[in-house]
Amino acid sequence: MHYEPSWESLRNHRTPQWLQDSKFGIYAHWGIYSVPACGPNTTWYGYNMYREGTEQYDHHVRTYGRPSVFGYKDFIPMFTGEKFDADQWAECFGRAGAKFAGPVAEHHDGFAMWDSALSPWNAARMGPKRNVVAELERAIRRQGLRFMAALHHAENWWYFPHRKGYDTLDPRYSGLYGQRRNDANESGLAAPVLERPTRAFLDRWKGKIIEVIDGFRPDLLWFDFGLGGIQEQYKKEFLAYYYNKGDEWATEVAVTHKYHDLPPGVAIVDLELGSMEELAYHDWITDTTIDDGEAWGYMHNARYKSAAHLVHYLVDNVSKNGYLLLNVGPKPNGEIPRPALEVLRGIGRWLEVNGEAIFATTPWLTFGEGPTRMKKSGAFSEREETHYTGRDIRFTCRGNTLYATCLGVPQGPVTVASLKSLYPAEIQSVVMLGCDRELTWSQTPDALVIRPPADAAWRPASGCEHACVFRITTKAPF
């Protein structure tokens, strides 16, 4: 169909089948902010390094001098990317089990990771002097994955504090730092909440999106915070353009966004670091980062989440009609940190054995049994890691197969109260993935009781050490 730039028309767009089947993707925050690599959120270094009293300002003064002497732009020659290998990244993402992947094409800092005709401040002309988005698009598609691009540049209008004495006010660098806002006062500190973006900013914002769409044909465009500040007609126009391009390419495309920055039904809502409390009747996505401190970009002293935690998070989200997008933060030279690689390998090993309970599945009648996430902003947050014992279960299904995934390794019989409604003659077989032996089970008035294999030797070797999946094949009971 042809989409018009109106919410009525755009609501006719549906989530692509490939995304409904994929469930799991990986993207990478890699940019200028990878050089200072200082948290807590490394991708906001350019914002905080100009604001006295922040950790990143103090770090900047100690390490590089005052920002009046060494500005954010001065990191660009240090962003070398000499070890960046797009094929290596793509292979790593594929082996981790991701079905779609891509880069942050432009973060809040206004530095494009492709050869943009709209700004010379880009990775093809400065820093690594590589067209990062183009190289990753080709490499990711060679792995048979769908290609996505993340765009954060709506926030660039508010991102850099335009303060007197700093290079952020120098018109020579406005292509990176943005134009000086009209509300800068005598102290030089702007009050961006009171000011809307100009037409020139909005035209360039949309123009960069069109460049990415036309240049790389992304299967998914992911948008960060900031869309709320974009004038409504611009949002309608880029969505109609993208959705129509998808039809022209004879491929299904998708858009994600945060908060309520787009009307319901127009695109997929993203719950950063969150989840749903219960099974949702609309699909959704969440993004989290592989490090344990929400650094997003590379950080020197980062700790990393466990593969078990991320497997549990993925299973929990999928059981509630959600998808997971996992971030990694490469070093400024282009290497993915070794601890992150180990975590990705752990996820990949689990999905290699148990992926049939994730990919191309749908939610069941209930999401599961056991504890759920801690509430945060209307959703449930993964900040409070739940320690699963193997007694906590999540459900997915496909055809006549029901998957009951234990988050953790159960010690002894598994009692599944939600399956008490099944007729005894409805259960054809119960098998544990990775073990491939039919299991003993029994049904009581209160639950289905499954007896896992008694021997423990299979667990680490089979890729089931993080979670165990029971495949319950059903048939018509009469």
Q: At what angle do helices 338-354 and 86-95 cross, to 10 degrees?
A: 40
- Contact at 8 Å (CB) between 471 and 433? yes
pLDDT, residue 186, reads 41
Whether the CA torsion 242, 151, 29, 291 is positive or negative: it is: negative
Helix residue spans in 127-216 (DSSP H)? 132-142, 156-159, 174-177, 199-216
Tokens for 48, please give them. Answer: 């905080």
Position 84 in a domain: yes
Position 149 in a domain: yes
pLDDT, residue 107, reads 98
Say how far apart CA 75 and CA 13 lie, in whole Å: 41
Say how far apart CA 387 and CA 309 lie, in whole Å: 8
- For 159, which DSSP code? H
Single residue among 311, 336, 357 that ends a domain in this structure: 357
Position 65 in a domain: yes
Mean pLDDT of 30-53: 97
pLDDT, residue 459, reads 55
Mean pLDDT of 152-166: 92
Tell me: do 341 and 431 sit in the same domain: no
Tell me: do 298 and 342 sit in the same domain: yes
pLDDT, residue 196, reads 87
Tokens for 340, please give them. Answer: 């992150």
Query: Which stretch of DSSP H or E encloses residue 7?
Result: helix 7-10
Neighbours of 419 (CB within 10 A): 23
pLDDT, residue 454, reads 76
pLDDT, residue 396, reads 98
Tell me: do 66 and 127 sit in the same domain: yes
pLDDT, residue 194, reads 45
Tell me: do 192 and 263 sit in the same domain: yes
Single residue among 301, 334, 357 that ends a domain in this structure: 357
pLDDT, residue 439, reads 93
Tokens for 164, please give them. Answer: 């007197």
pLDDT, residue 465, reads 85
Range with lowest mean pLDDT among 28-42, 237-251, 371-385 = 371-385
Tell me: do 293 and 417 sit in the same domain: no
Mean pLDDT of 179-204: 68
Tell me: do 106 and 209 sit in the same domain: yes
Half-sphere exposure of 312 (CA within 13 A, CB side): 27
Tell me: do 214 and 317 sit in the same domain: yes
Could you report the per-residue pLDDT of 100-155, keeping only the tens digit for each? 999 999 999 999 999 999 999 999 999 999 999 999 999 999 999 999 999 999 99
Residue 379 clears pLDDT 70, i.e. is over it: no
Say which residues have a Cβ less than 8 Å from residue 199's Cβ, sequence separation at least 6. Answer: none
Domain range for 293: 7-357
Phi, psi angle pair for 211, to nearest 5° = -60, -45
> How many domains does the structure of the chain reveal?
2
Tell me the pLDDT band of 380, cut-offs 50, 70 and 90.
Answer: low
Residue 193 clears pLDDT 50, i.e. is over it: no
pLDDT, residue 195, reads 77
Tell me: do 326 and 449 sit in the same domain: no
Please provide the distance, in angstroms rounded to a whole number, between the alpha carbons at the two ends of the chain.
44
- For 424, which DSSP code? G
Query: Which stretch of DSSP H or E encloses residue 405?
Result: strand 401-407
Beta sheet of 368-369, edge-to-edge order: 368-369, 393-398, 401-407, 467-474, 427-432
Position 430 in a domain: yes
Bridge partners, residue 147, by sequence: 101
E strands, 183-253, in order: 220-223
Residue 162 clears pLDDT 50, i.e. is over it: yes
Say how far apart CA 232 and CA 237 lie, in whole Å: 9
Residue 164 clears pLDDT 70, i.e. is over it: yes
pLDDT, residue 239, reads 98
Domain of residue 424, CATH code = 2.60.40.1180
pLDDT, residue 65, reads 97
Task: Report pTM.
Answer: 0.94
Position 364 in a domain: no
Domain of residue 312, CATH code = 3.20.20.80
Helix (H, G, I), strand (E, B) or coil at 469: strand
Tell me: do 263 and 145 sit in the same domain: yes
- Contact at 8 Å (CB) between 319 and 407? no
Tell me: do 321 and 435 sit in the same domain: no
Mean pLDDT of 240-248: 98
Single residue among 313, 334, 357 that ends a domain in this structure: 357
Position 462 in a domain: yes
pLDDT, residue 183, reads 42
Opening angle at CA 243, ends 240 and 248, nearest 5: 115
Tell me: do 353 and 401 sit in the same domain: no
Range with lowest mean pLDDT among 21-35, 118-132, 280-294, 360-374 = 360-374
Residue 391 clears pLDDT 90, i.e. is over it: no
Opening angle at CA 465, ends 94 and 357, nearest 5: 55
Say how far apart CA 393 and CA 417 lie, in whole Å: 10
Q: Chain-wide mean pLDDT for the chain?
A: 92
Mean pLDDT of 337-366: 97
Neighbours of 170 (CB within 10 A): 12
Could you report the per-residue pLDDT of 425-478, keeping only the tens digit for each? 999 999 999 987 889 999 999 999 999 887 654 554 567 889 999 999 999 988
- Contact at 8 Å (CB) between 414 and 395? no
Tell me: do 352 and 392 sit in the same domain: no
Position 152 in a domain: yes
Position 35 in a domain: yes
